[in-house]
Amino acid sequence: MFIHRTPFFLPWLYSNLVWRIRTERKELFLTLDDGPVPGPTEFALDVLRKYRARATFFCIGDNVQKHPDVFKRILQEGHAVGNHTFNHLNGWETPKAEYVENTTLCDAVMDEHQTGNKTKKVVLFRPPYGRITRAQIKALSAYNIIMWDVLSFDYTESISAEACLKNSIKATRPGSVIVFHDSLKAEKNMRYALPRFIEHFTEKGYSFNIIPQ
Ligand SMILES: [Zn+2]
């Protein structure tokens, strides 16, 4: 059994991080982590375009460097991007200086491939695995650190695509920040769950927006 909804005490303990967006409207905030990767990222972009939904992509710097065209397409299609470190580091196992340096490196690569407004800095950050120390949070205080309200577990091999979809729908409420992955590992479940998730909530009158900078 996977707990898809973030337990209430985490946002209480880490109240300076963003777990959910306060809103009076029927709106949701999709996030896609670990891309850009040709294949899964392009699939996600096609689905988002079909439903006129927008999402926030937390990109790994190394993947941006390898696949700049896919990264540019994310921006061209009106989505937001955030920093997810250059090498997908686990904050609990990485010294603060190295963690900050790796995050800065991710920024540099993203800046290099920004389309249009070159002065537009990336201000959203999501720690890989959700693992970050209080010292690292303090060191990255220039960023808006985005956690989540709903985890799809699409990357977990032991979860069926149907359960991934059903449980994610059940855990979602207005203002939820929902995590999917545009990675090869999650591709099978994401290809099943993401379009159906968006369709379900679109039919219920929800809109999908980017996380406010
Ligand atoms: Zn990740």
The radius of gyration of the chain's CA atoms, rounded to the nearest angstrom, is 16
pLDDT over 70, % of the chain = 97
How far away, in angstroms, is 85 Cα from ligand 1 center?
9
Considering the entire predicted model, what is its pTM? Answer: 0.95
How far away, in angstroms, is 112 Cα from ligand 1 center?
21
Fold designation for 9-208: TIM Barrel (3.20.20)
Whether 115 has a pLDDT exceeding 90, the answer reads no
**Domain ranges, ordered by start, for the chain:** 9-208
How far away, in angstroms, is 68 Cα from ligand 1 center?
18
SS3 content of the chain, % helix, strand, coil (to 5): 40, 15, 45
Whether 118 has a pLDDT exceeding 80, the answer reads no
How far away, in angstroms, is 182 Cα from ligand 1 center?
10
Residues near ion ligand 1 (CB < 5 Å) are 33-34, 128
- What gap in Å lies between CA 118 and CA 57, rounded to an integer? 18
> Of the candidates 204, 199, 203, 198, which has an alpha carbon nearest to the alpha carbon of residue 55?
198
Q: What is the pLDDT of residue 10?
A: 87
**DSSP 8-state class, residue 129:** G
The pLDDT tens digits for 31-77 are 999 999 999 999 999 999 999 999 999 999 999 999 999 999 999 99
Whether 117 has a pLDDT exceeding 70, the answer reads no
Q: What is the pLDDT of residue 116?
A: 61
The model's confidence at residue 213, banded by pLDDT at 50, 70 and 90, is confident
User: Rounded to the nearest 10 degrees, how much is the dihedral formed by the CA atoms of 184, 189, 191, 194?
Assistant: -120
- What gap in Å lies between CA 187 and CA 174, rounded to an integer? 26
> Of the candidates 87, 71, 1, which has an alpha carbon nearest to the alpha carbon of residue 32?
71
